[in-house]
Each structure stands twice: as structure tokens, then as C-alpha cells.
Structure 1
Amino acid sequence: MDVFELSRGWKIAMYIMLGLFFAVFVSLAIFCFIDPSLKRVMVFMLPFSLVAIFFIVCGFLQIDEKVIVDNYSIRKESRLVNREILLNDVKGYRIDKNYVRILPHEGRGKKILASTYLSGINHLKALLAQRYPDLDVEETQEVYDEAIRQTGGQDAQKLMKQAKTEVYTLTGITVALGVLTFLYLDWYFLALFCCVPLSLLLLLRHKGLVQLDTSKESPLPSIFLIPFIAVFVPIMRSFHMHILQYSKVWPLAIGIAVALTVMLWLCSAYLNKKRGQYIVSAIFMSLIFFGNGYGLVVMSNAFFDKKGYEYYETTVTDKHISKGKSTTYYLTLEPWAHQAGEERESVDRSLYEEVGINDKVGVYYYEGAFHIPWYQVGRAQ
């Protein structure tokens, strides 16, 4: 019999961490009734604190969990969850960053999750690999076999090479256009956006040899990176384009996202739409499409506006740097012609370091090609 559980060091660390979180959220819940300043946000903070406390308590109950493998079954024992799968009822396993997932045949029990932080987890992986299939690898092979079958008996290797060449070429073009779009407000952003529908057409053209997204074991190329680059770069490029009215942005962005989502569905005719990975990727891709739409609308609104700008000046009342995975520089500005109140705006580092509190900055106001007013903050003239 093999027993897998957290080491003593991990248990102590978990108890300390969960204890600190428990104290924080209990304090927040109590202060919602004591501190008058928190009563206005009590409707949000109190439920959030209670939900957090619930999950922290569940975490305490799971710290002593054990996964036990003997000659008859695989069991998970804890104060919260107790499950068992007979060895002959195990269908296979999946491994991700946080868990080893042991899955039974349908109707033969519930899956067992073994944390990758359990002591001896590599031995558990080896035990499973000796007896059961890796379902991720098995699914990947099924997708590959189905894609080859749909080629109609033609030279599969030749078609695979052509599919990879086209996907990698379009990805390279997307990267190049992404760099140009980030550096220059020019037609490059339009060409970058066009890479998204072109990538979807590759799904249809290659009849399953090109996938929406793939696992690391799959030999099939994926288009997932192309829409991601096409959303990331324009949004970064438009970070300092401050929109005054979003009422005309959202309908256009949603319309573009819906159109691309419909195109994705139509171009996925040769893909297995029932696969869990496809469903998750398609949902995530729809969110990316919304970002594609937003970037296209904001960039087009600025690029096709040929009326020029109106110049205003305002005063800096405060400065702030936000540090995290990236550093963002903010200036708080006094009201000006098209802004009724004080507003904190993101600016580039050079402008942030150049101006001080009570200094003047320039506000460059544009009406926008789609009548979506926007402005940029720069140096005073």
C-alpha cells in the first residue's frame, strides 16, 4: 500500500497561510458592522468575506488529505472529501500543473484529484503510467488520427507539412505586423486585424490538420497565437488613447466579436466541437475576439480622423506610480474643457519624470473618425 500526503513542512506553511487569510477576512466581515465608512460597501464586502471564509475553512479540512493506492482501489481520504475508485474501474489519468486527475469509467465513481504538492507524487504518476493511459496523449492521438482520416487518403505527411508552413508563415507575419503596429499609428493595425480571419480560414482549408488550440504533445499546428497577438498589441498601443465616450465603442466591438465567433464556428466544420479542449478554447477565443474588435475600433477611430486636434492645457495636481508585473505612471489632472472633474491618466515615463505637481501639461483632443472623442496627454506647447 502506498500513501501520498503533504509533507510536515507544507502542512505547517498551509496552516500559517490559511490562518492569516482567515484572520483578514473575519476582520473585514466584523468591521463591516463596526466601521461607518465600510457600511456603504457592506453589500459587496460582507458576502465576499463570507465566501472567502467558507473556502478557507474547506482548505483547513483538506490539509490532511491522503491518496492511498493498494491492491484493490485508489482512495482519497480527508475531513471533507472521501472517494474511492476500484482499480478495474479507472479509465485513465491527466496531469496538469496543480493536479494529477484520476478518472473512472462513466458511472463507476467520481474523479480523484491528487495535488502535485503531495509527497511522492512522482511515484504516483509512475504507478498510474504503468497501468493506465494518459488521457491527454490518447485524446491528442485521436484528434491526429481523425485529421489524417479527413484528408481522404492523400499524402498525409505532405499535407501536414503544407499546413505547418502556412500556419507558421502567418504567425511570423502577425508578429512582424504586431511590432510595426506597436511602433507606428499606420495601416499596419488593419493588416494585423486581417490576420485573425485569415487564421480561421486555415482551420477550414486544412480540414482538421490545423487546430484551434493543441496540447504540447500534439504534432498538429495551432492558430491560437495569431488572434492573441492581434489583440494584445493594439490594446497596448491604444493604452494612452483616453476615450471620453464608450457608448459607440461597445456596440461596434461586440458586433465584430460576434462576426468572428460565427466565422470560427463555420470554419470549425472539420474539428470535433464536442471536445472539452475545443469548447474551452472557443469560449476563450470569443473573449479575445471582443478585444480584437475593441482594438480595431479604437485604432480606426484615431487613424481615419483627419480633422486634427484641439489643444488645451491643464494642471497636474498629483503623481502616482503603480508597480506590479508592469509599471504604470499616472498624473492626476485638473478639469478641462471636455472633462468636468479631476481625472487620473496614464502617461509615458518620460512625461511623468519631466513634469511636477502644479506644472502644466497639454491635452490633445480629437473628435474621432467615428465620432468617438478621445485625447492624449503630452507636453505643454
Structure 2
Amino acid sequence: MLKEYKLGHGWKVFAIIFSPLLIALFGMLLVMPFIPALNDNLSPSILWFSVPLSLGMMFLGVVTLRDAIKGKFVIDFDRLYNLSTLGNRELLFTEIKGYRTDDKYIYIEPNVQHLKKVKVTKYISGAVEIERWLAERYPDLDQLKAEEEKEAIFANNDFGFSFEERTVKFNQASSVAKILNVIGGLTGAWTLFFPNPYKIALWCAIAVPLICIPVIKYYKGLIRIDKRKDSPYPSIFIAFLLPCVAVFLRALLDYNIFDHSKIWIPMFVIALVMTAIVCLKNAELQSGGKKAIGTIVVFTLFSLAYGFGSIIFLNCYYDQSTPKMFHSKILSKRIRSGKTTSYYLELEPWGERKTAEDVDVSKDFYFEVNESDTVNIYFMKGKFDIPWFELSK
């Protein structure tokens, strides 16, 4: 058999159109700081950011364009190989151990330690045919690993002293994980998009990640944090992730913090305590490999977000200090659009704030006021001495 596969026609056309535009755009960004007529308002320090970014993105554009035109994957008579700008990979049929897949790539793994795997993009024309060809000749390594892990579960005395006990424990863990994920997903969506009643929504979002931790400990590694493709282990990733994100975003959206300095230490303490409890004698993380390290890093990051959001909510919502009132003039207004739309007012100096700074406000308040209007600022001490403020007309 000798067959070549190239990037799908639609993706190829897109790459040929998009790549030159990317190169041109970042080429302009690269030269702009060096053109006197264009760099009057640019800080010299911007070069440290713009030059590496521009060169990197231009290189990405060149690689993408060249691979779209010349890149290919070939199944030959006794081998297969991938030709790309960043390097060619080849494996003899006898050197192939099996294959794995994810949403974007097919990974062809070698059975010889010093050889490197061949990675094939699923955007290639004939990706389904390539996967079928591999399935007819080689094992799906993800499926094999899942079967091995399932056998290990039902042979592990930590989950019961008989096959029947382990089966009951596994089914129970699967049900608990599903219920927690549903509760966590609904709580996260409720808190983020429609937090009413507000206090109950926030407290539910704070409670769910805390419930996840003893559940992980109780099931001794049977319920996992991470969700790996085709893994038989039930996971509560959604139950932990979405409430943490919701609490974090609510803190950013709902409260204007005047000084963040007193947030960082308790935030890190909360994250480290949560991570330490989860990591202690956790079968999922005992391997110490890249996957375990990645899981720990992700869990810690979301724990930091959880700590940040929880502290701000408790500090501001339960603050009973008497507010001090200040007044400030609106110097300018601006809207920043992206995945979400944010609304900002630039206020002249007020209170202990000695420079004009932007304040994030709600959409309704943004359109209620105009430039040069004066707004009232209510400055509060905070429950945990983290000062914050609110605006009104």
C-alpha cells in the first residue's frame, strides 16, 4: 500500500488565506516601534514584549502555510511517516505498538523506546480512514489501558475483599461522582448566570468543592480528580471546577477591591491546605509522572481561584463597617469586548487613590452616567480589613 494524505481542502484554503494575514499583521507590529511617526506614544519597554511575540507569531504563520502546502502523512509498503516543517517522523510497521486518539490528533506509538511517536492531525483529509487502517492492525492503547485499569480496580483490596464488594463500591462511586458533577455543574451555572438568592447561591458554590475533598479521600483513589479519555475511574472534575470558577468570577464581577494586598496570603493558605489534603495518600497522584503533576497543578490553580473568590465574597458581603463617602468625576468611558463584554469608567483621583484609574461597572450603571458626571463612592473597610468600594449616581 502506498497512500498520501494531506490537509483537508477547507482547512488548506483557510490556512493559505489566514497565514499571510497573520504574518502581515505581526510584521507590522514588529516594525511599528521602529517607525518614528508611529511610536510617539509607545514605551521602550514594549519592545521586550512586541518583538518576541511578533517573531513567534510570524514563525507560526510560516510553519502553518508551509505545512498546508507541503505537509503530508504517508502510509508506505512497510512504514508510515509524517512530513512537516518542524521535523519528519517515521515508523516501520514492525515498530508500531499501537495508537491513541484525542479530539485533534491520532498518536501512533512505537514499541522501541528510543523512537518517537508519529502525530497525525485529524484535520487531514482521510483521518477516519487512517484511524480505521490502524484499528484493523494495531491495538487502541487507550482502550487497553482502560481495560487494565478496570481489572486493577476489581483486584484491589482497598475497594473490598471480594469481587462482589468491589463491584458494589465501584458502582457506588460512579453514582456519587455523577450526582456531584450534576450538582456542581448546576450550582456553577446558577451562581455565575443567575445568582438569586445571592447568598444561598454563593454559599452553595463555596460548599460543593469542599464536599469533593472528603469524597476523594473516602474512596481512596477510586474517584479521581482528573477525567482521562476512556478511563474507567469516575471523576468529579466538573463538580470541583465549575463552582470554583463561578465563585472566582462572581468576586471579580460583583466587588471593587481597593487594595488586594491582604488577599494573597489567605488565598495561598487555602489553596495549599486543599491541595495538601487531596495529595496525601492519594492513589491517583502517587505515580509522580507528568499526568499526576499536571493534575496537582490544575487542582492548585482552581483552589487559588476558589480561595480568592471565597475571601472576597465573605469580606464584602458580610462587611458591617460604616462606609465613608467620596465623590469623583468621570474622565472617560470605555467598553472592552471579547468573549465577554466589560464596562469601565475612568475616575479622577479620590480618597487615598492619587491617580486616575479605571473602575469596572455593570452595563446598566455604565449607560446611566456620562463623561464629566460626578459619582458617589462608598468606601468600606471590609470584614477581613480588605478595603472595597461601591459606586452610585
- TM-score computed with the length of structure 1 as normaliser: 0.90
* Mapped pair 1:19 → 2:20: yes
Is this contact kept in 1: 2:74–2:82, CA < 8 A? yes
Q: 1:126 aligns with which of 111, 125, 132?
A: 132
Q: Is the 8 A contact 2:63 2:85 kept in 1?
A: no
- Tell me how far apart the structure 1 counterparts of residues 60 and 121 of structure 2 sit (CA, whole Å): 17
State the alpha-carbon separation in 2 of the partners of residues 200 and 162 from structure 1: 17
Residue 106 of structure 2 is matched in structure 1 by: 100
Q: Does 1:57 align with 2:62?
A: yes
Summarize deviations over 1:179-226 as a string: whole Å, max 9, x none.
368335537645533432331222221233311122353443211112
Identity %, equivalent residues:
28
Contact persistence 1:249–1:372 (CA under 8 A) = yes
Select the residue among 323, 327, 330 that pairs with 1:313: 327
| Aligned counterparts of 1:115 and 1:180: Cα–Cα separation in 2 | 38
| SS in structure 1 of the partner of residue 383 of structure 2 | coil
How big is each residue's C-alpha offset from its partner over 1:239-287, in whole Å with a ceiling of 9 and x where there is no partner? 2311111111111111111111111211523666346544323321111
> Which moved further from structure 2: 178-187 or 329-338?
178-187
Q: Which residue of 1 aligns with 2:35?
A: 34
Residue pair 1:148, 1:209 contacting (<8 A) in 2 also: no
* Alpha carbons 1:200, 1:267 under 8 Å: kept: no
Amino acid at match of 1:283: V
Q: Output the CA distance in 1 between the equivalents of 2:200 and 2:43.
A: 51
Q: 1:86 to 1:42 in 2, by over 3 A?
A: same
Question: CA 1:136 to 1:364, structure 2 compared with 1: closer, same or farther past 3 Å?
Answer: farther
SS in 2 for 1:149: coil
Root-mean-square deviation (CA), in Å?
2.5
Query: Unpaired segments of 5 or more residues in structure 1?
Result: none
Opposite residue 19 of structure 2, the aligned amino acid is L
SS state of the match for residue 88, structure 1?
Answer: helix
Q: In the alignment, which residue of structure 2 is the partner of 1:163?
A: 173
Q: Distance in 2 between matches of 1:135 and 1:272?
A: 22
CA distance in 2 between partners of 1:333 and 1:271 (Å)? 49
Are residues 1:89 and 2:95 paired?
A: yes
Tell whether the 8 Å contact from 1:317 to 1:358 is kept in structure 2 after alignment: yes
Cα 1:320–1:30 change in 2 (3 A) is closer
Indicate the larger mover: 179-188 or 39-48.
Answer: 179-188
Mapped partners of 2:185, 2:93: distance in 1? 49
Match of 2:162 in 1: 153
Residue type at the aligned position of 2:22? F
CA distance in 2, matches of 1:103, 1:284: 26
Provide the rounded CA distance (Å) in 2 between the counterparts of 1:5 and 1:149.
46
**2:343/2:362 contact within 8 Å kept:** yes
State the alpha-carbon separation in 1 of the partners of residues 101 and 258 from structure 2: 47
C-alpha separation in 2, matches of 1:256 and 1:94: 37
Name the CA distance, whole Å, in 2 between partners of 1:315 and 1:264.
49
One-letter identity of the residue aligned with 1:13: F
Bigger CA drift: 327-336 or 273-282?
273-282
Aligned counterparts of 1:163 and 1:79: Cα–Cα separation in 2: 47
127, 131, 143: which is aligned to 1:137? 143
Matched pairs, number: 379
- CA separation of 1:356 and 1:236: change in aligned 2, threshold 3 A: same
Asked whether the 8 Å contact 2:205–2:246 carries over to 1, the reply is: no
* One-letter code aligned to 1:55: L
Q: What is aligned with 1:248? A: 262
Which of 236, 240, 246 aligns to 1:227? It is 240
Q: Deviations over 1:298-332 (max 9, x none)?
A: 11211342223223332223222222222222222
Would the alpha carbon gap of residues 7 and 236 (structure 1) be closer, same or farther in structure 2, given more than 3 Å must change? closer
* Residue 169 of structure 1, CA deviation: 3.6
Q: Is the 8 A contact 2:331 2:372 kept in 1?
A: yes
Structure 2: state its 5+ residue gaps.
none
Give the partner amino acid of 1:92: G
- Range with greater deviation from structure 2 (197-206 or 265-274): 265-274
Amino acid aligned to 1:366: M
